[in-house]
């Protein structure tokens, strides 16, 4: 191996910080990365752009040493290296901010950070350093707080500070803005630019085109595990990057006028609810009305009462008399099954394990909620043939790609399972549909299909409530938008009368009220 002495090189731009060539990683049945190459210079903010399932996360795990590539080479500051595990990556100066945070709820900020540092164990001294570093980069943190008491944004700060304490030369951020308010995104970008100006290289993984345009110097676009192009985001348009990302134009949803009968479909009145979970958020005086034929969106970051509101709406948690009305009928004290009998359709955020039983075939998963359809029962026993038939129709009508109605739920991709679950609920002709994170982790094609499906059922006279972290999505399909933050729900306003900025402010304000 030849390592040229540094002074032989012309000063800027110097060696690449990181250079990947022909990385390939296979899993049973899929090639997650095929022949992927990319280069990051010191101080460069480099985007890795691609939709869900494009292989971005796998590539980052290879760089961070969590997994090993089957083929290909990694060069670090000009030297060919092997990264056997995350500890080795950290030693090299590679830090990673995870999408689903790698934090421990019952440990303090300092303890969490200590776990990722390979240095003598001295919590008191570390707490001091956490304070100093976090203030220097505008990421204020109390080192002694327990992580479960932190907001999602604060948790991300812990992750970032944890990396910064190791003097990283390369920082990987996996979809870092998916959990942040628009205002917090701006602050994060400031911090990232400050880091880049100090010479830190950044790998920024995202599927959000406008963010990449705003922040990144260059981008590598991935699709189906392969690199489909390199570009300078500043020189591209969102449409041109989208084409590189999905291979065609971004699909658009159509929202026709609603012309059916008017009336209230779902109503929540003065709902207050203490969370049974010690790490949960209690609901405070939530009021909401969803009319027939409309889609109401609830924006906000998960962990602000979303789980509690969903449990109260679905009936997994019963509430007081008169707090929830379904088509004018008080259902507050009914359980989940009884509310379905009254016409509630519900799609939870977790598909595997909640919306579907992972190891049961689709036909059985159809029975999970559709058992109340008369054709599913013969005498008092279950009719499995009817369940298979129901699943078959669902698969066909909602374009679920799978090996038939006998495939187990966990063998489906996220998007296809979501289509099945949404389909199962719609086929039971609900009067009200509540859908949480409809397109979380779903590819662009399936997302568009799901969003259009949501619009279509609403226009058929169903009241639809969508809870989502994706503001773009809510603005695309909602008629009115409210914000849930700190357990309080803002008034739902027509989307034409608001914008991302104002919604973001509501998220912040409610949370701060809570803290005060």
Partner 1 sequence: MQLLEPRATPSKLMQWAAPPIAICLTLVVGAVLFWSLGVSPPKAFYVFFIEPLETSNGWSELVLKASPLILIAQGLALGFRARIYNIGAEGQLLMGAIFASAVAIWTDGSTAWWVLPAMVLAGALGGGLWGALPAWLKTHFNAEETLTTLMLTYVATFFLSWLVSVPWRDPGGSNFPQSIMFGDAALFTPLFEGLRINTSVYITIAAVVIFQIFVSRSFTAFQLAVGGQAPAAARYAGFSARKAVWLSLIISGLTAGIAGAGEVAGPIGQLTLSLSPGYGYAAIIVAWVGRLHPLGIVLSGFLMAMIYIGGDAGQVSLQLPSAITGLFQGMLLFFLLGADAFVNYRIKRRKVVQLNKVAA
Partner 2 sequence: MIEHITPILVGTLGAATPLVFAGLGELVAEKSGVINLGVEGMMLIGAIAAFAAAVATDGNLVVGLSIGALAGALAALPFAILTLSLGANQAASGLATTIFGVGLSAFIGQSFVSYSLPGVKPLAIPILSDIPVIGPVLFHQDIVVYLSFATFAVLSWVLAKTRIGLVLRAVGESPESAHAIGYPVMAIRYGAVLFGGAMAGIAGAYLSVVYTPLWVQNMTAGRGWIAVALVVFATWKPGRLMLGAYLFGGVTILQLHAQGLGIPISSHFLSALPYIATIVVLVLISRDRKLLQLNLPASLGKSFIAGG
User: What residues make contact with partner 1 under the rule CB under 8 A?
Assistant: 24, 26, 28-29, 70-71, 314-316, 335-340, 346, 348, 350, 353-360, 364, 367-369, 371, 377, 380-382, 407-408, 410-411
- For position 401 contacting partner 2 by CB under 8 A, the verdict is no
CB 393 within 8 A of CB 306: no
**Of the two residues 27 and 513, which places its CB atom closer to partner 2 in the complex?**
27
The one of partner 1, partner 2, none whose footprint includes residue 106, by CB under 5 to 8 A per kind, is partner 2
From residue 395, alpha-carbon distances to 205, 399, 404, 417, 427 in Å are 33, 6, 8, 10, 11
| 402 near partner 2, rule: CB under 8 A | no
Using rule CB under 8 A, residue 191 touches partner 2: no
Compute φ and ψ for 167, nearest 5 degrees. Answer: 45, 65
Stretch that binds partner 2, among 83-91, 372-380, 423-431, 442-450 (CB under 8 A): 83-91
Which residues are registered as beta bridge partners of 218? 46
Q: Closest CB to partner 1 among 273 and 455?
A: 273
- Partner whose binding site includes residue 432, from partner 2, partner 1, none (CB under 5 to 8 Å by kind): none
The DSSP string of 210-230 is HHHHHH-SEEEEEETTEEEEE
Cβ proximity to partner 1: between 70 and 456 the closer is: 70
**CB closer to partner 1, 421 vs 457:** 421
The string of DSSP letters for 76-138 reads ETTEEE---SHHHHHHHTEEEE-SS----TTSBHHHHHHHT--S---HHHHHHHHHHHHHHTT
Residue 149 found at the interface with partner 2 (CB under 8 A): no
Rounded-to-integer distance, Cα 322 and Cα 378, Å: 36
For position 82 contacting partner 2 by CB under 8 A, the verdict is: no
**Burial of 327 by CB count in 10 Å (0-12 exposed, 13-18 middle, 19+ buried)?**
middle
The 3-state secondary structure of 139-180, one letter per residue: CCCCCCCEHHHCCHHHHHHHHHHHHHCCCCCEEEEECCCCCC
**106 near partner 2, rule: CB under 8 A:** yes
Answer for which of 65, 297, 300, 345 binds partner 2 (CB under 8 A) is 65
The span of 95-103, 359-367, 433-441, 503-511 binding partner 2 (CB under 8 A) equals: 95-103
C-alpha–C-alpha distance, residues 228 and 112, integer Å: 38
* Residue 456 contact partner, candidates partner 2, partner 1, none, CB within 5 to 8 A by sort of partner: none
Check residue 67 for interaction with partner 2 (CB under 8 A): yes
Task: Name the minimum Å distance from CB 353 to partner 1.
Answer: 5
103 binds partner 2 (CB under 8 A): yes
Q: Which positions ≥6 away from 173 have C-beta within 8 Å?
A: 96, 97, 192, 202, 203, 204, 205
- Residue closer to partner 2 by CB (options 167, 375) is 167
CB-CB contact of 466 with 266 (8 Å): no
Interface with partner 2, residue 114, by CB under 8 A: yes
Q: Quick one: tokens of 329?
A: 């009928």
Q: CA-CA distances (angstroms) from residue 251 to 56, 239, 444, 446, 447?
A: 22, 11, 8, 10, 9
Are the CB atoms for 47 and 216 separated by under 8 Å? yes
103 binds, among partner 2, partner 1, none (CB under 5 to 8 A by kind): partner 2
379 binding partner 2? (CB under 8 A): no
Selection from partner 2, partner 1, none that 111 binds (CB < 5 to 8 A by kind) is: partner 2
Q: Which is nearer to partner 1, 15 or 330 (CB)?
A: 330
How many residues bind partner 2 (CB under 8 A)? The answer is 26
CB of 313 to partner 1, least distance (A): 12
Provide, rounded to whole angstroms, the least separation between the CB of residue 196 and partner 1: 36
Using the minimum distance from each CB to partner 1, give the nearer residue, 74 or 173: 74
Q: Nearer to partner 1 by C-beta: 335 or 460?
A: 335
- d(C-alpha 55, C-alpha 62), whole Å: 11
Question: Segment 256-285, which members bind partner 2 (CB under 8 A)?
Answer: 276-278
Of the chain, the end-to-end C-alpha distance in Å amounts to: 59
Rounded to whole angstroms, the Cα distance separating 375 from 363 reads 14
Instruction: Enumerate binding residues for partner 2 (CB under 8 A).
Output: 27, 61, 65-67, 85-87, 89-90, 98, 101-107, 111, 114-116, 121, 276-278
């Amino acid at each position: 191996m030849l390592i040229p002495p540094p002074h032989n090189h012309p000063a800027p731009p110097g060696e690449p910080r990181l250079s990947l060539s022909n990385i390939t990683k296979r899993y049973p049945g899929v090639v997650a990365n095929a022949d992927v190459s990319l280069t990051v210079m010191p101080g460069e903010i480099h985007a890795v752009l691609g939709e869900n399932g494009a292989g971005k996360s796998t590539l980052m795990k290879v760089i961070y040493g969590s997994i090993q590539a089957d083929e290909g080479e990694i060069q670090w500051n000009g030297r060919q290296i092997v990264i056997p595990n995350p500890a080795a990556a950290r030693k090299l100066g590679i830090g990673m901010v995870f999408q689903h945070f790698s934090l421990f709820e019952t440990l303090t900020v300092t303890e969490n950070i200590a776990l990722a540092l390979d240095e003598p164990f001295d919590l008191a001294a570390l707490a001091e350093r956490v304070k100093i570093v976090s203030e220097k980069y505008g990421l204020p943190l109390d080192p002694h707080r327990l992580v479960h008491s932190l907001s999602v944004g604060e948790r991300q700060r812990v992750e970032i500070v944890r990396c910064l304490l190791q003097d990283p030369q390369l920082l990987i951020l996996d979809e870092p803005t998916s959990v942040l308010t628009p205002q917090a995104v701006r602050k994060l970008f400031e911090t990232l630019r400050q880091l880049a100006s100090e010479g830190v290289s950044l790998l920024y993984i995202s599927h959000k085109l406008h963010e990449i345009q705003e922040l990144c110097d260059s981008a590598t676009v991935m699709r189906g595990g392969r690199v489909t192009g390199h570009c300078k985001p500043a020189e591209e348009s969102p449409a041109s990057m989208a084409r590189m990302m999905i291979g065609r134009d971004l699909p658009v949803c159509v929202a026709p006028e609603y012309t059916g009968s008017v009336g209230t479909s779902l109503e929540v009145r003065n709902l207050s609810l203490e969370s049974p979970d010690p790490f949960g958020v209690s609901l405070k005086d939530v009021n909401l009305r969803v009319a027939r034929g409309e889609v109401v969106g609830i924006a906000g970051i998960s962990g602000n009462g979303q789980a509690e509101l969903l449990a109260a709406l679905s009936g997994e948690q019963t509430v007081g008399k008169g707090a929830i009305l379904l088509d004018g009928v008080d259902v507050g004290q009914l359980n989940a099954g009884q509310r379905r009998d009254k016409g509630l359709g519900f799609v939870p955020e977790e598909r595997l394990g909640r919306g579907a039983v992972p190891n049961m075939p689709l036909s059985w998963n159809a029975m999970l909620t559709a058992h109340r359809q008369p054709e599913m029962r013969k005498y008092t026993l279950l009719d499995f043939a009817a369940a298979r038939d129901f699943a078959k129709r669902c698969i066909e009508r909602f374009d679920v790609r799978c090996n038939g109605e006998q495939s187990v739920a966990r063998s489906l991709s996220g998007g296809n399972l979501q289509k099945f679950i949404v389909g199962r609920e719609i086929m039971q002709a609900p009067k009200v549909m509540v859908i949480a994170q409809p397109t979380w982790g779903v590819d662009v094609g399936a997302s568009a299909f799901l969003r259009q499906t949501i619009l279509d059922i609403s226009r058929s006279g169903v009241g639809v409530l969508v809870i989502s972290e994706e503001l773009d999505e809510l603005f695309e399909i909602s008629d009115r938008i409210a914000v849930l933050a700190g357990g309080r729900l803002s008034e739902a306003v027509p989307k034409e009368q608001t914008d991302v900025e104002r919604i973001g402010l509501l998220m912040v304000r409610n949370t701060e009220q809570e803290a005060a």
